[in-house]
Homo-oligomer: A and B are copies of this chain.
Amino acid sequence: MRTPEAELPLYRRLAQRLWDDIDQAGLVEGSRLPSVRRLALQHGVSLTTALQALRWLETQGRIEARPRAGYFVAKRAKRTKRSMAGRDDASATSHWTGPVPIVDEQTRDHLAMVGEPCAVQLDLASGEPTLYPVERLGVLLRRLAYQHRDLVGSHVRGAGHPGLRGEIARRALQYACALDPEEIVVTNGCVEALNLALRAVARPGAVVAVESPTYFVLLQMLRALEMTAYPIPCRPVTGMDLDALESALRTVPIKAVVTIANANNPMGSVTSDAAKRALARMASEHGVPLIEDDIFGDLCFGDARAAPVRAFDSDGNVLLCGGFSKSLCPGLRLGWIAAGRYTERVKALKYTTSMATAELQQAAVAEMLASGGYALHLRRLKAALDGQQRAMRDAVLRYFPAGTVVTDPAGGFVLWVKLPEAGGRRASTRVLFEQARAEGIGFAPGHLFGSGSEFDDCLRLNAGYRWSDTLEAAIKRLGVLASGALG
């Protein structure tokens, strides 16, 4: 007999409904079930609940997960005695059966994070909208949309708004980084810049050295491009381990190195100028292009803007990727790349990837840079982020289990937290992630930042929002859940 519905948790009720649906539709083994997202929408439940339901059905042998493919009605051998009778009617396969949604755990958690915001957004590295000069940008956009109608009506071609490309180069000079406006291509966010950079220097099958841990979108991107990430340890203060990199460059056919030297994601470190110089030289000597993600470069907390590795490059070997989504206007999705000797390739790839980037917002940002408004805003934003990070760090140390370690970042948005062991057992933030999301608290689980289970006991917290009682309560609750995870 079934447990009375009302007593069951929501995911169990959904699971029973799916079980019945499979029976009633007479789905044969191997039929594909709708995606987690579709189920969630159809049944008006959260992604987490839909996923829990599918996992429960899996534990019952009713369905099976196929890596990178989805959930399917299980083969008979896997079914329990509650299995349906089973008609082998090929015409009864589900609607839109077919290949290959990517739904391994890492991708699924990634999609959940980037696709659906939680009530408390500690997951993505994003700032509270009130921290940005939206009013001023709004005025600029309104004026430009009125005065320069060609920004709306004209076909866009070329590498970006000349004014913005010029301002980016002018600003870079302030931190001793010589960029040629002609090598700059404006992109749809820094993510597109990284994507073009990787495709400009490496082919499918290539091995790419990355910091470990590193920005999870980069790891997902490498998978999507069929490239292999080769992890180089990254330290909380000093950044990428250059001895390990040198050794890898000697022994592994590495086609590119990706670094986040300024306000590293997730470590928060700012690499020293000496280490940056050594890194630029090492990459050049080995003839391996270096892709630098400098999206957080403008958000290092010191008064002077930290130089990027590119400032120490003399032969066009560093592809510098930047953008304004973290530092100025998250909603406008503006990034850029200065591609050195790979400029022609990046331009050719840009044309076949998205043709060009809309120029209205480029013109607005160019004005913010030219007027000095950006510099003023940055000073305020950096002070706010610094304070928010310290408040969140204090709360983590107060509410998380004793022995928890947390970074003390030199810039950016995020804290990297490592949970202690308990009874010789490492905590896992995989389950914690789903528990917290079910309660409306999003964070980035450690496993996304590597390729195995090496960061299962870690998590990343976004400190981009103004410190508040809500945030304090969320950190406190995460601390309780983390203690529970330590059992």
Contacts and interface: CB of A to CB of B under 8 A. Distances in A.
B359 A331 contact: yes
Interface stretch (A51-59, A138-146, A168-176, A396-404): A138-146
Interface stretch (A239-247, A343-351, A418-426): A343-351
A37 B183 CA distance: 11
A111 B84 CA distance: 60
A345 B101 contact: yes
Interface string A429-442: 00000000000000
Contacts of A130: 153
A142 to B, nearest CB: 4
Interface residues of A, number: 90
Contact of A35 (B117, B126, B142, B344): B344
A38 B329 contact: no
Given A129-B150, A353-B195, A333 B156 contact: yes
Given A192-B353, A220-B351, A344 B146 contact: no
A31 interface: no
Contacts of A124: 155, 157
Q: Which of A107, A149, A189, A353 has the most CB of B within 10 A?
A: A353
A191 interface: yes
Contacts of A302: none
A71 to B, nearest CB: 12
Contact of A358 (B138, B156, B333, B342): B333
Q: How many copies does the complex hold?
A: 2
A24 to B, nearest CB: 21
A114 interface: yes
Nearest to A138: B145
Interface of A: 35, 37-38, 41, 70, 95-103, 107, 110-111, 114-117, 124, 126-127, 129-130, 132, 134-135, 137-138, 141-142, 145-146, 149-159, 182, 187-189, 191-192, 195, 199, 203-204, 217, 220-221, 224, 226, 315-317, 325, 329-333, 340-345, 347-349, 351-361
24 contacts: A96-B316, A98-B315, A101-B343, A102-B345, A102-B348, A110-B351, A115-B158, A116-B157, A116-B158, A129-B154, A134-B152, A135-B149, A141-B142, A156-B331, A188-B192, A189-B354, A189-B356, A192-B354, A195-B354, A204-B204, A217-B351, A220-B351, A331-B360, A332-B360
